Amino acid sequence: MDHSRLSMPLGEAIFTQRSIRRFKPDPIPLADIELLLEAAVRAPNGGNQQVARFLVVNDSATIGKFGALYHEAWWAKRRDMGISRPEDLPPAMLSAARLADEMGEVPCIVFALATHRHLANSVIPAAQNLMLAARAIGIGSVPTTLHPSVMERFRSMFAIPEEVELHFCVPLGYPRGNFGANVRRPISETTFLNRWAGPVPWT
């Protein structure tokens, strides 16, 4: 695989990989999607059993149909949190709510799955590889999940076998808006040295 197109410095890709939830309608060339998948499968995985599977969807009619299901799933998750009306959403959820409205119009979706249940650890590194590679070639993404109430319909929409488990639904597209720094707690709050709560030398 020619990976020379992934020449953005790793630090730049990592430090500017914030969630992108608004996309231009432009399609992503198939060769670019291939590059992302080649990056994804290079990720570490348990025993190199390679249980991750990727379902790429770039058919706009299918994405449109899925968009309605995603919208329902997103609002089912809000209802589980006690939120049922757009007016009650906290500001931090507004961009995710807009993605729920617009998922049906994204140019491409990659579903990251595993051949069997309880294998998330072998899929998540691959999903991050895919999203970092996407960032490196100017494609935005965000990992999202569905809700149990839609899973049966999700499976039948894409003919996904019962034993296969979904881990992430990753919309992909050229950003409307910019990549850039994200907001995180300082590592001095989240990282310990040598024992739990052992202070780190970094402030």
Residues that bind ligand FMN (CB under 6 A): 18-19, 21, 96, 99, 142-145, 182-183
Contact of 133 with 10, CB cutoff 8 Å: no
| Of 27 and 143, CB closest to ligand FMN | 143
| Of 118 and 195, CB closest to ligand FMN | 118
Contact of 134 with 36, CB cutoff 8 Å: yes
DSSP state of 99: H
Residue 69 and residue 138: Cα distance in Å, rounded?
A: 28
For the bound state, the minimum distance from the C-beta of residue 124 to ligand FMN, rounded and expressed in Å, comes to 8
Residue 140 and residue 120: Cα distance in Å, rounded?
A: 22
> 């190199």: which residue's tokens?
48
For the bound state, the minimum distance from the C-beta of residue 127 to ligand FMN, rounded and expressed in Å, comes to 9
For the bound state, the minimum distance from the C-beta of residue 15 to ligand FMN, rounded and expressed in Å, comes to 11
| Of 77 and 155, CB closest to ligand FMN | 77
| Of 122 and 144, CB closest to ligand FMN | 144
Residue 196 and residue 176: Cα distance in Å, rounded?
A: 42
For the bound state, the minimum distance from the C-beta of residue 145 to ligand FMN, rounded and expressed in Å, comes to 5
Residue type, 127: A
